[in-house]
Amino acid sequence: MTRLTGTETRPPGPTGPGFGSRHPWLLRRVLLFTNFFLIIAAVYHLKPASRSLFLSALGADALPYVWIATATALALTIGLYHRLIAHYSRIHVVLGTCALVIAVLIGFYPFLDGSGFAAAFAFYVFVDMVSVILVEQFWSLTNTIFSTREGKRWYGFIATGGLVGGVAGGMASSAWISRAGLETMDLLPIAAAIIGLIVGLTLLMGRYGLYREKPGVGNHEGPSTGDWRAILRHRYLALIALILLLAQIAEPIIEYQFMKVVEATITDRDARTAYLGAFFGVLSAVAIGINLLITPLIHRWLGALGGLFAQPIAVLFGSLWYLSQVTLQAGAFLKIADRGLSYSINRASKELLYVPIAPLLMFRAKAWIDMFGYRLFKVAGSLLILLLTQWLPWPLEAAHLAWVVVAICLAWMAVLVRLGRRYRGILERAEAQPEGHP
């Protein structure tokens, strides 16, 4: 791998006639769209398989334990990842990650047919880690090559690539089982092949200089070390971490409620895998509609913070419906309100919060907040589920957990109000900074 020091600025590669030399900006956006499409398509082949195998082997009540295990696994790997992005080319780190994922998927394939406890548990942890790492690596690279103004214009389009990939991957994974006669574990080599395409596309973009970093904004308080202590001292990053904390406490509760309904309603493993694949496809289709019709308008008139309010508001109303009737339809709506908005307007809006930050600080901060923090905060939600449903003398039903989600949504929106003030101040300082300033 190519060793680097400080921030990375890749020189432009050759862009000969016929390969984007006339419109490199358009080619870059199309290829980023395609890259994100492939990432989510691969993930949505793996998620239905991992969820269905886990429910067959352990059941929904064990989900909080596997979420805690995922956070622990990320804690053990985040230090290594942090050092890699500080010293080596971002593109080479991405390529190495993809190669490792392919190798592990091939290794898992022969051990999942029996749906044993250990294999199903380990596979769930691995898939959750892959879904976080691949997506965050993609956005980290993307955030270093766009300005705030360009991000507002193009992030909705680029994020739509992932949503289209979700529709394609979810529907394809369902069709492989329900129509082509494949079994749940057969989705693993298909996902490995898709990740192989990601490797080729990333090499192509690096070869032609389409991953070139913008200058960063070096005007934030506190040192730019990017570790968790610096994040706590950096009030702006601390507020971003806080909204993620609240979202991630709510997310496992919603996931638990949804999977409890799925487990009770659909008992056959492959039928459950097919349903979950189709559900993820529908979820992505809803998110596409939001991204195409709503996200650009919200960003134009209300900015990034306006987009961040959509998810807690929708989840609040979805939780009230789930309280009134615990059905598969209510659980699916609540899940879509949470993840559908998280994958669309919330994702595009949240990434805009990182754009004004210097590239190296942003890479490191995202590694802690969006990768490790993403799962560490989910541990809080997992422990809360265990406390309320299993450890208390009078455990609560899944439906009653919706009251906790309602309270979280109210606190979430209050933090967004404070974050908005900081974000506007950062933008004013970024716009006042001379172009090209480090």
pLDDT tens per residue across span 294-304: 888 888 888 78
Please state the rounded mean pLDDT for residues 303-325: 90
Buried residues in 67-93 as b, exposed as e (16+ CB within 10 A): bbbbbebbeeebeebbebbbebbbbbb
For residue 3, the SS3 value is: strand
Q: What is the rounded end-to-end Cα distance, in angstroms, of the chain?
A: 25
Q: Among the listed ranges 5-14, 135-144, 315-324, 330-339, which one has the minimum average pLDDT value?
A: 5-14
Given the structure tokens 């598969």, which residue do they identify? 328
Q: Which of 339, 52, 328 is nearest to 173 (CA)?
A: 52
User: Percentage of residues in the chain with pLDDT exceeding 90?
Assistant: 39
CA dihedral 326, 327, 330, 333 (to 10 degrees): 130
Q: Could you tell me the pLDDT band of residue 191, with boundaries at 50, 70 and 90?
A: very high
The answer to whether residue 404 scores a pLDDT higher than 60 is: yes
Q: Could you tell me the pLDDT band of residue 15, with boundaries at 50, 70 and 90?
A: very low
Question: What is the average pLDDT score of the chain?
Answer: 81
The answer to whether residue 427 scores a pLDDT higher than 90 is: no
Please state the rounded mean pLDDT for residues 72-90: 76
Question: 303: number of CA atoms within 13 Å, CB side?
Answer: 11
**CA dihedral (107, 111, 116, 120) positive or negative:** positive
Q: Among the listed ranges 2-11, 241-250, 359-368, 419-428, which one has the minimum average pLDDT value?
A: 2-11
Q: Could you tell me the pLDDT band of residue 5, with boundaries at 50, 70 and 90?
A: very low
Residues 312, 409: contact at Cβ < 8 Å?
A: yes
**pLDDT tens string 112-131:** 876 578 899 999 999 999 99
pTM: 0.77
Residues 232, 408: contact at Cβ < 8 Å?
A: no
Q: Which domains does the chain have, with CATH numbers?
A: 27-213 (1.20.1250.20), 226-432 (1.20.1250.20)
